[in-house]
């Protein structure tokens, strides 16, 4: 059996790949098969994510909880994982630290980061995604997510009244 490779095509995601097959023996070629009109659809690496990650209300002063959006532009194949990257926004020379998937559930859309989080610090977050064909070429837009701050001691009513009187 001889396998003939088709010449390369510039397929785009969801292009329909239609196949016609012929067989050959010492006498010659067979008639072509009926065109496969329900052929496979082309798949590619995922598109760059267009939505930024968001702060989850469960974020505390020592834990960032980040929501990753549900991705629909998957490149035509199921997503395997997200890679969330985080850096301290005040330290521009700091590189991103990645949290890639979870072996028990690759498509977590809420990620908790507890290592090294400092109360009140603003962190820049971005992510990219992977399917069976590879990682998206680019990243999502960055978002700024602040770790919670322990509130200061509330003012007493007397302190507030004194401040108001001196302002008058």
Maximum Cα–Cα distance across the chain: 108
Higher pLDDT, 23 or 94: 23
Confidence at residue 2, expressed as pLDDT on a 0 to 100 scale = 46
**Nearest Cα to 101, choosing from 135, 129, 65, 142?**
129
* Alpha-carbon gap, residue 83 to 124, rounded angstroms: 14
C-beta separation of 43 from 76 below 8 A: yes
Q: Residue 52 has what pLDDT?
A: 94
> What mean pLDDT comes out for the span 50-62?
92
CA dist., res. 161 & res. 56, Å (int): 37
User: Per-residue pLDDT tens for 61-81?
Assistant: 999 899 988 888 888 888 888
Residue with tokens 């820049």: 124
Higher pLDDT, 146 or 116: 146
Instruction: Give the integer Cα–Cα distance in Å for 50 and 73.
Output: 9
Task: Please compute the mean of the pLDDT values over residues 16-43 and round it to a whole number.
Answer: 76
All domains of the chain in start order, with CATH: 54-146 (2.60.40.10)
């Amino acid at each position: 059996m001889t396998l003939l490779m088709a010449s390369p095509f510039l397929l785009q995601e969801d292009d329909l790949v239609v196949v016609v097959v012929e067989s050959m023996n010492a006498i010659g070629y067979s008639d072509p098969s009926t065109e496969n009109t329900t052929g496979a659809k082309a798949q590619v690496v995922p598109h760059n994510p267009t939505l930024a990650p968001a702060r989850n209300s469960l974020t505390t002063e020592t834990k960032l909880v980040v929501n990753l959006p549900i991705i629909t532009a998957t490149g035509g194949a199921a997503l395997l994982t997200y890679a969330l990257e985080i850096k301290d926004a005040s330290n521009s020379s700091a590189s991103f630290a990645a949290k890639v998937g979870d072996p028990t559930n690759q498509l977590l859309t809420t990620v908790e980061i507890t290592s090294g989080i400092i109360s009140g610090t603003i962190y820049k977050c971005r992510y990219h995604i992977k399917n069976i064909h590879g990682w998206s070429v680019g990243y999502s837009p960055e978002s700024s997510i602040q770790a919670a701050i322990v509130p200061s001691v509330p003012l007493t009513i007397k302190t507030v009244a004194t401040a108001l009187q001196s302002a008058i």
